[in-house]
Structure 1
Amino acid sequence: MAALDKSNAHLAGHRERLRDRFVRAGAESLADHELLELWLFGVIKRQDTKLLARNLLVRFGGINEVLHAPLHDLMQVDGVGQVAAIHLKSIHALHVRGTQTEISTRPILGSWSSVLAYLKLNLAGAKREEFRVLFLDKKHRLIVDEKMGEGTVDHAPVYPREIARRALELAASSVILSHNHPSGDPTPSGADIAMTREIISALNPLRVTVIDHIIVGGQNTQSLKALGVI
């Protein structure tokens, strides 16, 4: 019992010191594993979370990758139960929702940096390719962001006619296309360029403009408009 009390006291002391450092010096004073560990304090009460935080970062590669990991993958990490996994996913969902709200309140072309931040938050770290379309109204305000394809590590099936149909349903005037490269390299492939042109051709008769196609690789992005494809 004495050994158990000593262990609990050490755990409580460590947690208090980390909280105190966060209060005094802010998040910048904490390493990634410490910041993740600090969050885990509120979910896992009686377990040393230092090793768990490090294991999560090693397993997935970084904080953003941890938050973007599927629920069942998080639960494969020893010490992460369903409750902790759900809480981790909720952080990512809240961040995405907040950024989406920010870009929904004003014309997208006037807040392009926010759009890129939103796309990176939504797509960076995903282990499979996802193809998303931001449908915009005539004032370039976001109507909705929808996933239009999900596939493997290097391919997501996309159907230009389905994008055209959805644009018609939403009365969209323009779209921004985006997908991720799980490899981390945002350089467009020949297939990416061909698909972009197919989508442009499908939307032209509807007078729906493709503003750009952004490829997200890691924390970097590549604009097909900047490359002259659009």
Structure 2
Amino acid sequence: MTDYVSTIDDAPLAATPPQPLTRVAEASGAPARSPLLHGKWHKKDMPRERLINQGPAALSDAEMIVLVLGSGLPDHDVFSVARALLDRFGSLRAMLDATYADLDGIRGLGPAKKAQLLAIMEMARRSLVDKMRRRSLMNSPEAVESYLRLLIGGRPQEVFVSLFLDARHRLIRCEESAQGSLTRMAVYPREIVRRALTVNAASLIVAHNHPSGAVQPSASDCRLTHTLRDALALIDVQLIDHLVIGADSVYSFARAGWP
């Protein structure tokens, strides 16, 4: 069985800039009105009130972080902390991959707030995993793609993951099968086959991310897909799909007819 090295030719894109903390009306071209009155926020312009009245989609990324944090520390208002987080990570998606240490050095963000952010992010991941374990993934491709975009879509380096499924296409477990650099990753099909046997999987969905954001597979991605598909067939395990995860889109080998 051939070992495989995947290479990305695309140059990485710049991180997505943080969204400004502005009212939706301003962004849409409606007459702008300052949310401040005598140095203080109008109550109806505060994130909590806007979420209640207009729904969560009306809030910017910074405002969502403000609601999660609730308050800042003395001399560091919560809005400044939210902007500092987006400046550090570039986007909410990149924040999902943050560790406790990654949050160090942000003024106004103490141990309790760090733990609060990490807990919210982990809750989002676990809720998607629970959804996948309760239903056939053949009937929930959107749940699979949402989970994978949450899991690896914002990683700064390539990551290859394997979703091992039972005979009813429910998730047994999800594992990182390989990690690489920004442009290179080694994937070993024989190890994935071995793990499929170990966990008694009946089928697999595999995926990897492109840190550049482009999802069009390379020639080496196609070779790996066919090598892995043939190797799994030898042990009567079906490769259901290979997904390439980008910043805003997903490529499916199965939907594309296994090119």
User: TM bucket by the smaller chain?
Assistant: 0.7 to 0.9
Do 2:160 and 2:177's aligned partners in 1 also have CA atoms closer than 8 Å? yes
List gaps (5 residues or longer) in structure 2. 1-38
**RMSD of aligned Cα (Å):** 2.4
Q: CA separation in 2, counterparts of 1:14 and 1:83?
A: 26
Q: Which has the higher contact order (CA 8 A, sep 6+)?
A: 2
Percent of aligned positions with the same letter in both sequences? 35
State the SS of the aligned residue for 2:186: coil
Amino acid at match of 1:178: A
- Which of 35, 40, 55 aligns to 2:64? It is 35
> Could you tell me which residue of structure 2 aligns to residue 182 of structure 1?
211
TM-score, normalised relative to structure 1: 0.85
Do 1:215 and 1:222's aligned partners in 2 also have CA atoms closer than 8 Å? yes
> Could you tell me which residue of structure 1 aligns to residue 54 of structure 2?
25
Change over 3 Å in CA distance of 1:83–1:149 after alignment to 2: farther
> Could you tell me which residue of structure 1 aligns to residue 94 of structure 2?
65
Q: CA separation in 1, counterparts of 2:46 and 2:246?
A: 37
Is the helix fraction higher in 1 or 2? 1
List gaps (5 residues or longer) in structure 1. 1-9
> Could you tell me which residue of structure 1 aligns to residue 17 of structure 2?
none
State the SS of the aligned residue for 1:157: strand
> Could you tell me which residue of structure 2 aligns to residue 118 of structure 1?
147
Change over 3 Å in CA distance of 1:78–1:155 after alignment to 2: farther
Do 1:37 and 1:53's aligned partners in 2 also have CA atoms closer than 8 Å? yes
Question: Shift in Å at residue 209 of structure 1?
Answer: 0.9
Q: CA separation in 1, counterparts of 2:195 and 2:81?
A: 43
> Could you tell me which residue of structure 1 aligns to residue 238 of structure 2?
209
TM-score, normalised relative to structure 2: 0.76
How big is each residue's C-alpha offset from its partner over 1:161-207, in whole Å with a ceiling of 9 and x where there is no partner? 11111100111111000111111111111221222222223212101
Q: Aligned pairs, how many?
A: 220
Map of 1:91-170 to 2, 5 A cutoff?
91-170=120-199
